Amino acid sequence: MPLLLAAVVAAPGIAAVVPAVTGPERPAVTAPPSVPPWQQAPTSLSQEPPGNLLLPGPLATDAPLPSGTALAATLDPLLNADGGGSFTAEVQDALTGEVLYSRDGTRAVVPASNTKLLTAVAALQTMGPDRKFQTRVVSGPAAGAVVLVGGGDVLLAAGASQPGLTLGHVGLATLAEDTVASLVAAGYAGSVTVSVDDSLFSGPNLSPAWEDGDIAVGEIAPVYSLALNSARYDPGSTSGPRPQDSALTAGQAFAAALGSAGAVQGLTVSTDVGRYSGAPLAGAPELATAESATVGEQVQLMLETSDNYLAEVLGRMAADSQELAASSAGAVDVVLQELESLGIAPGRVQLADVSGLTLDNTIPAAELTDVVRAMTSGTDLRLRAALPGFPVAGLTGTLNGRYLSGASASGAGLVRAKTGTLNTVLALSGYVVDADGRLLVFSFIGNNLEPGAPANKAALDQAASAVAGCGCQ
C-alpha cells in the first residue's frame, strides 16, 4: 500500500490539498512557462480554509530522486556558520526514507523550538486530533459559590466565544452568561463568589531547566490548566511579560464577566477570587461548560507561532491521557514514549522540557527529519493534522518575515518548516516538493553560533530554498 501525503502543494501524482494559508492578498506573480506548477509562487493567500484540510493521496513514485552528490555540492557551500559554531543537517526522501544528504545528521545537538515537532507527535498520537478540553463551572459547597474548573484549555478569551477561532474559541463572557442562566433557573438570587480549581496539573509550575531571564521576558510562565490567551495579557501579542498566575488571572476575568452578566438578574459578584480548597468537586452540580478548539487545531497554532506555553500544556495533557503525571516530567516522559512508536530508540533523544526553551534538550537532525517524514508520509494519519501548522516561507507564522529577498527568496511559498531559535541555536525542519516533483523532508540545525549573526539564519533559509528548487540530478 502506498504511503500517504497531505501536502501543501500539488505535484504530479500527488492527489492532495494545501492546508490553507490565510492573510492579505499578495501581488500576482507570473512564472516562466518552464517552471512546473507546484514550483510557482501563489498569486494570493486563501481567504477561506478548504472544507477538509487533510485529503491524502498516493505519492508519485516516478519523480526522480535527487542525487546525493549533487545535493552535497549544493548544500555544503551554504551551511557555513558565521563567526563560530557549526551546522548539522539531513535530507530524506519522504516516500522511501532514503537519506539523500547528511552532515553529522546523527550527532546530538540542541534543537531549540524544533522540539515542538516531537510534542505535536505525542499530542496527536495520545489524544487524537479531534480531542477537545472542557472548561467547567460548577457549584461550590456554599450557597452562591461557583468554581471555574480548568480542563487544559489555555486559549480562553475574556469576551464572547468565537467558535471559528482556535485562540478565543471559548470566551469567558459566554461562559459567564450560561452560568447566570443556570443560577437564575435554579432560583438563586444574591451574592456570588468565584474560585478556581486548577488541580489538573501537578508538580512544579516551572521547569528547573528554564532560565530566570526567559521567564522574566515572557518566553514562558508558570504553567496552569487554564489561562487567557495562552497566558498573555493581550491576545494580539506574542512577546513581553506574561501573567505569573494564569489561573487566577482567568478567574478574575471570569468574575468580572459574571458580574456584568448577573447584574441585570440581581446577582452581585465578589471580585476577590482565590483557589478552591474544599472537598472534591467530582459530583458537584454543573452550571456551565464549554469545549476548546480541537487538539489538531491547537497543535497547528503551537507550531505556527512557536508557542512555548501551549506546547508545555499539550505535553501535560498528553501525559494525563496516558495516566502519567500531568507535570513537566510527565510531559517529557510521554513525548519520549510516543517517539518509540516512530522507531526512534530511547537514548537518541534527550529532553528536559517539551517546548525547546532549554539547552539541555538534544535531538539529532536525523531524528527530526524522521519526525517530519512521519507527519507527511507515515502510516499514522492522525499526524497529518500537524501539517497546516508548519509556517510557510515568506507568508505565515514564524517564517512570515523571512524568504522575502536575496538568495532565499526562491523558496517563498514553497518551503514549509518549523523554526527554532535560542541565543546560540538556530534550527529549521520541514518539507518541500522539489523541482522534479519529489517530496523531500529536511532538518538543518546550527549550534554554538555567534548570537545575532544574520548570515546564520540566511544560511538555513538558503539551504531550504535550494532543496525546494533542486533538480539535482
Least Cα distance to 254 among 167, 146, 134 occurs for 146
Mean pLDDT of 233-252: 94
Say if residue 145's pLDDT is above 80. Answer: yes
**CATH fold for the domain made of 4-127+327-468:** Beta-lactamase (3.40.710)
Mean pLDDT of 88-101: 96
Residues noted as catalytic: 113, 116, 306
**All cell numbers assigned to 230:** 495562552
Confidence band for 37, pLDDT divided at 50, 70 and 90: low
DSSP 201: S
Mean pLDDT of 42-49: 45
Mean pLDDT of 414-429: 97
Side-chain-side CA neighbours of 19 within 13 Å: the count stands at 23
Q: From its phi and psi, is residue 107 left (phi > 0), alpha (psi between -120 and 50) or beta?
A: beta
* Residue written as grid cell 499539550: 314
Say if residue 269's pLDDT is above 60. Answer: yes
pLDDT at 47: 39
Q: How many other C-beta atoms are found inside a 10 Å radius of the C-beta of residue 350?
A: 14
Name 446's bridge partners. Answer: 87, 426
pLDDT at 134: 98
Return the domain boundaries, the chain. Answer: 4-127+327-468, 134-293
What sections of 76-192 are H helices per DSSP?
115-127, 172-185
Q: How many other C-beta atoms are found inside a 10 Å radius of the C-beta of residue 380?
A: 13
pLDDT at 52: 32
pLDDT at 62: 84
pTM summary value: 0.90
Side-chain-side CA neighbours of 60 within 13 Å: the count stands at 19
pLDDT, tens digit, for every residue of 6-34? 333 333 333 333 333 333 343 444 444 45
* Residue written as grid cell 537532525: 365
pLDDT at 40: 61
Say if residue 5's pLDDT is above 50. Answer: no
Side-chain-side CA neighbours of 226 within 13 Å: the count stands at 34
pLDDT at 267: 95
Confidence band for 374, pLDDT divided at 50, 70 and 90: very high
pLDDT at 115: 98
